[in-house]
Amino acid sequence: MKKKVFIETYGCQMNFNDSEIVMSVLSPHYQNTDNINEAELILINTCSIRDNAEERIWNRLKHLRALKKKNKNLKIGVLGCMAERLKDDFIERENIVDLVVGPDAYRELPQLLSLVDSGQNAINTILSEEETYADISPVRYATNGVSAFISIMRGCQNFCSYCVVPYTRGKERSRNPHSIVEEAKDLFEKGYKEITLLGQNVNSYLWKNDQETIHFWNLMEMVADVSPLLRIRFATSHPKDISDELIDVIAQRPNICKSIHLPVQSGSDNMLKLMNRKYTREWYLSRIEAIKNRMPDCTISTDIIAGFCNESEQDHQDTLDLMRKVGYSAAFMFKYSTRPGTFAYKKLDDNVPEELKIKRLQEIINLQQELSLASNKRDIGKTFEVLIEGFSKRSDEQQFGRTSQNKVVVFPKSNLDKGNYVNVLIKSCTAATLKGTIVD
């Protein structure tokens, strides 16, 4: 009889995909449970990108101490980026963690758990220059059955001065494109209608051998060819690498979604240089122009950091100005928190007062609310193809789905189930949601 494992995942979608890989590795001996109280193994898949993400993990471990007191046989493991960065702290600080495994060591989980079962603590956080888990089919245990994610590469070597990812996930390496296409085919045959290709910087995907060289835009074409009924998305793009070839492929293929997440982080050249982003404000805006010229209906979302080291009021105003120029449909917005081990932590002063960071972040959030609402208002009166994802959380009388532009649409329920496409005429909106009715 299989033991029961509860996996709790924090952070980006890459981590959720990693948790599905972990479940696949464990599946010969463990089965997933949604009930943490019946679990014999609890795995926390962690994120180190922001300080508050790490603090949530420490607080979570304190709560798990009570479960371990009740069940002496319960084993607790920490996975992912935070595991790699703070491996010794987990064993020593809380004294309830039995297992610490970095993002490149998931294949070793069965052997490491054997050590744990014998009464030892087990740690493996060695980073790899080759591991992509290309031959492992993830167990899709936490999915809506419509949308799925495929990891196409691992690691990062951009070394943005604020970012810990290159240190916790290692060097950039791309996965064999044919294994990616086979995974996409398998998902489509199982009923999935939308996949997102994942990487820390998908634009720099590059795979080659003696016979072929595959760039990211080539891969996008290959995956789009699986079926015209399979929508393709991708995340995340780095502005320095978004090419005309990629923009053309997105524009030409109807089933590649017209939505691009292009993190800018700041609208100030001073900040971009300090952040080591490797592009200028002018370059970024030229890429936005290229996207809009080829795809006027394409939405653009972004990431923005408020209060980075040495940020002046003018730097902040440059960010607000760039936001207005682009007209983002959505954004992930954060105040800067220093991450140990990064260039900024070692060489730059975190010298923007906390209250000023909060003030600037709120101004960014307020502006983005205006931009999101304006973007949605422009869609009123238009008809969009919507992929149904399920019922609205607020009412079983409403269904919801997303447009190609990655906007959520709510509409009166139909006789069609999730996974079907419907045309919806937009009648009204909020800053977050479009509302409409199905039309023929």
Check pLDDT > 80 for residue 327. Answer: yes
The secondary element (H helix, E strand) that includes residue 5 is strand 3-9
Q: Which of 1-5, 88-92, 168-172, 376-380 has the highest mean pLDDT?
A: 376-380
Helix crossing, 313-326 with 354-377: angle to 10°? 10
What length does the chain have?
Answer: 440
Which tens digit of pLDDT belongs to each residue from 246-283? 999 999 999 999 999 999 999 999 999 999 999 999 99
Confidence of residue 93 (pLDDT cuts 50, 70, 90): confident
Q: Where are the domains of the chain?
A: 3-124, 147-377, 383-439
Task: Give the list of residues 6+ apart from residue 366 with CB closer than 8 angstroms, or none.
Answer: none
Check pLDDT > 80 for residue 94. Answer: no
The CATH code belonging to domain 383-439 is 2.40.50.140
Q: Say how far apart CA 420 and CA 24 lie, in whole Å.
A: 28
What pLDDT does 64 receive? 92
Which tens digit of pLDDT belongs to each residue from 278-288? 999 999 999 99
> For the whole model, what pTM was predicted?
0.92
Q: What is the mean pLDDT of the chain?
A: 94
Task: Give the list of residues 6+ apart from residue 357 with CB closer than 8 angstroms, or none.
Answer: 306, 307, 335, 336
**Which CATH number applies to 3-124: 3.90.960.10, 3.40.50.12160, 3.40.50.150, 3.40.1390.20?**
3.40.50.12160
Strands (E), 67-209: 75-80, 99-101, 122-124, 147-151, 153-154, 173-174, 194-198, 206-208
Neighbours of 378 (CB within 10 A): 13
Per-residue buried b or exposed e for 381-395, using 16+ beta carbons within 10 Å of the residue's own CB? eeebebbbbeebeee
Q: What angle do CA 104, 150, 87 make, to 5 degrees?
A: 25
* 356 backbone φψ class: left, alpha, beta (φ>0; ψ -120 to 50): alpha
Check pLDDT > 70 for residue 402. Answer: yes
What pLDDT does 48 receive? 79
Confidence of residue 51 (pLDDT cuts 50, 70, 90): confident
Which tens digit of pLDDT belongs to each residue from 110-130? 999 999 999 899 999 998 989
Task: Give the list of residues 6+ apart from residue 417 with CB closer than 8 angstroms, or none.
Answer: 388
Which residue bears the tokens 């003696």?
A: 210
Q: In CATH, what is the architecture of 147-377?
A: Alpha-Beta Horseshoe (3.80)
